[in-house]
């Protein structure tokens, strides 16, 4: 009963990816990567953060801070002007005023007063604070720069991750086909040995050994099926769930090697550029913000204000004024020292990060060399497996090899082809790791 359930589960696993492949849209790994960049939830989230940061950077017009005031009153002249009046002389009065800030240091205003039975009076005013600090823009610039760097990084990383997952799907499918063929061969071998045991041409121990091989082949197929399902699931998570399922189109070893050669040319074009990272970009933005904050933090900023007003329609009524205040607490020597210390620490962090990126670049380049050598070795092994198959086919035709030995030689070649493809994929992905160091714009 347990064996029957195991067979049913295995059959279901084998049918699920096949059904998925029939319903999925076949795309090249480049098409998969480009589509992932437009649909991946993490990329879209980073893009929304970038849009919000850009809106905050643009800011709102200072004219929106303009203020309009309206007042009205009803009463006797005494209640309005302080002079005595007959209670029967109650009248309506109204006043309107507006203040418009043009700059952080400059604002203009005006007011109009009207009383029943009297001439309309008005006043124009001007206020100047020559040393007033403007609203700092570096916090918004820093936030926008970080959002932009984060978006570029996650977008490029998603591209490479989608490529890697697509290649994993292709490799897993190839391994599944090999596992199916191996299981079929081991099943035939088991049936053959069983017949030989019945005829007394083989021992029971040989049958048990072959049963062990059959069981191992069945487990390998189960593991291969699990890998196909896992990689297929990871691939779907890159895209919009409502956009339909996606599958990687078949890719030959030669096509993958051609992609690797193009990527090598792309790497060659970056020889003069310096590697970067999201952490380095963040540190540089924080440094720029601190330096700008230091520039905007003088040792002492005078609290000086100038004002003037002009009466209307009687322009002879005017006034000018000035005020200056000072407090020892306004001296910001300690704050400037703290900012300078933070700047020095940021500079040190940047040097350390650049050094770390240099080491990482060297390690990745070494890994590219190693994976390149592994690919060469895998291709040589594939050539040897191909030569062995041809020799086996010739010997089979001459009657010196069995059909099982011929089939085993074919499986060996298929295994060698998978090894070559996997090695080429490792080289291609190692090149991606190096390109990831240049996902952000090169340094000036």
In SS3 terms, the chain reads as: CHHHHHHHHHHHHHHHHHHHHHHCEEECHHHHHHHHHHHCHHHHHHHHHHHHHHHHHHCCCHHHHCEEEEEEEEECHHHHHCCCCCHHHCEEEEEEEEEEECCCCEEEEEEEEEECCCCCEEEEEEEECCCCCCCCCHHHHHHHHHHHHHHHHHHHHHHHHHHHHHHHHHHHHHHHHHHHHHHHHHHHHHHHHHHHHHCCCCCHHHHHHHHHHHHHHHHHHHHHHHHHHHHHHHHHCCCCHHHCCEEECCCCHHHHHHHHHHHHHHHHCCCCCCCCCHHHHHHHHHHHHHHHHHHCCCCCCCEEEEEEEEEECCCCCEEEEEEEECCHHHCCHHHHHHHHHHHHHHHHHHHHHHHHHHHHHHHHHHHHHHHHHHHHHHHHHHHHHHHHHHHHHHHHHCCCCCHHHHHHHHHHHHHHHHHHHHHHHHHHHHHHHHHHCCCCCCCC
306 and 292 in a common domain: no
Query: Is residue 282 included in any domain, yes or no?
Result: yes
435 and 361 in a common domain: yes
311 and 280 in a common domain: no
Query: Is residue 162 included in any domain, yes or no?
Result: no
394 and 318 in a common domain: no
pTM over 0.85: no
How many domains is the chain partitioned into structurally? 2
Query: Is residue 51 included in any domain, yes or no?
Result: no
Query: Is residue 369 included in any domain, yes or no?
Result: yes
Query: Is residue 179 included in any domain, yes or no?
Result: no
On whether the CB atoms of residues 36 and 239 are closer than 8 A, the answer is yes
339 and 326 in a common domain: no
Query: Is residue 245 included in any domain, yes or no?
Result: no
338 and 378 in a common domain: yes
pLDDT at 6: 42
337 and 326 in a common domain: no
On whether the CB atoms of residues 435 and 273 are closer than 8 A, the answer is no
Partners of residue 107 on adjacent β-strands:
101, 127
Domain-ending residue, one of 330, 347, 371: 330
281 and 374 in a common domain: yes
Query: Is residue 141 included in any domain, yes or no?
Result: no
Q: Which residue matches tokens 């005078």? A: 302
342 and 275 in a common domain: yes
Of 3, 2, 7, 442, give the one whose Cα is nearest residue 222.
7
* CA 363 – CA 365 distance, rounded (Å): 5
409 and 265 in a common domain: yes
Query: Is residue 292 included in any domain, yes or no?
Result: yes
The tens-digit pLDDT sequence of the chain (444 residues) is 334 334 434 444 444 444 444 467 899 999 999 999 999 999 999 999 999 998 887 755 555 566 767 676 666 655 444 555 555 566 676 676 667 675 666 677 767 676 766 666 667 666 766 555 556 677 888 999 999 999 999 999 999 999 999 999 999 999 999 999 999 999 999 998 898 888 888 888 988 988 999 999 999 999 999 999 999 999 999 998 888 899 999 999 999 999 999 999 999 988 888 999 999 999 999 999 999 888 877 765 666 576 666 566 666 666 676 676 666 656 667 788 888 899 999 999 999 999 999 999 999 999 999 999 999 999 999 999 999 999 999 999 998 989 999 999 999 999 999 999 999 999 999 999 999 999 985 444
388 and 322 in a common domain: no
Q: The domain containing residue 271 runs over which residues? A: 252-297+333-444
290 and 425 in a common domain: yes
pLDDT at 72: 67
pLDDT at 12: 44
């Amino acid at each position: 009963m347990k064996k029957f359930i195991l067979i049913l589960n295995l059959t279901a696993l084998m049918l699920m990816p096949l059904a998925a492949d029939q319903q999925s849209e076949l795309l090249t790994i480049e098409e998969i990567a480009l589509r992932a960049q437009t649909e991946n939830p993490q990329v879209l989230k980073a893009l929304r953060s970038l849009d919000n940061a850009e809106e905050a950077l643009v800011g709102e017009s200072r004219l929106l801070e303009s203020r309009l005031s309206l007042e009205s009153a009803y009463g006797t002249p005494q209640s309005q002007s302080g002079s005595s009046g007959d209670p029967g002389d109650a009248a309506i009065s109204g006043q309107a005023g507006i203040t418009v800030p043009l700059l952080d240091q400059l604002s203009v205003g005006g007011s109009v007063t009207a009383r029943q039975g009297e001439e309309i009076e008005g006043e124009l005013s001007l206020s100047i604070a020559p040393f007033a600090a403007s609203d700092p823009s570096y916090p918004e610039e820093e936030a926008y720069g970080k959002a932009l760097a984060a978006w570029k990084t996650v977008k490029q990383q998603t591209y490479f991750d989608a490529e890697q997952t697509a290649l994993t799907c292709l490799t897993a499918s190839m391994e599944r086909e090999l596992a199916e063929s191996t299981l079929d061969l081991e099943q035939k071998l088991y049936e053959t040995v069983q017949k030989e045991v019945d005829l007394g041409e083989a021992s029971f121990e040989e049958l048990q050994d072959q049963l062990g091989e059959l069981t191992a082949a069945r487990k390998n197929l189960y593991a291969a099926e699990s890998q196909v399902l896992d990689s297929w699931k990871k691939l779907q998570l890159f895209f919009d769930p409502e956009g339909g399922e996606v599958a990687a189109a078949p890719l030959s070893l030669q096509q993958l090697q051609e992609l690797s050669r193009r990527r090598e040319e792309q790497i060659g074009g970056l020889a003069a550029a310096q590697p970067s990272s999201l952490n380095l970009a963040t540190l540089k933005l924080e440094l720029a913000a601190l330096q700008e904050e230091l520039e905007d933090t003088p040792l002492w900023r005078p609290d000086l204000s100038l004002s003037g007003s002009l009466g209307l329609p009687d322009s002879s009524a005017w006034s000018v004024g000035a005020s200056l205040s000072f407090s020892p607490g306004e001296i910001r020597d300690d704050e400037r020292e703290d900012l300078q210390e933070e700047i020095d620490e940021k500079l040190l962090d940047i040097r350390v990060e650049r050094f770390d990126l240099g080491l990482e670049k060297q390690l990745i380049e070494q890994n590219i060399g190693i994976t390149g050598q592994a690919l060469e070795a895998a291709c040589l092994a594939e050539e040897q497996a191909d030569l062995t198959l041809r020799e086996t086919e010739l010997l089979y035709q001459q009657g010196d090899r069995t059909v099982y030995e011929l089939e085993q030689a074919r499986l060996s070649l298929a295994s060698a082809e998978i090894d070559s493809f996997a090695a080429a994929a490792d080289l291609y992905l190692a090149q991606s790791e190096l390109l990831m160091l240049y996902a952000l714009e090169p340094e000036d």
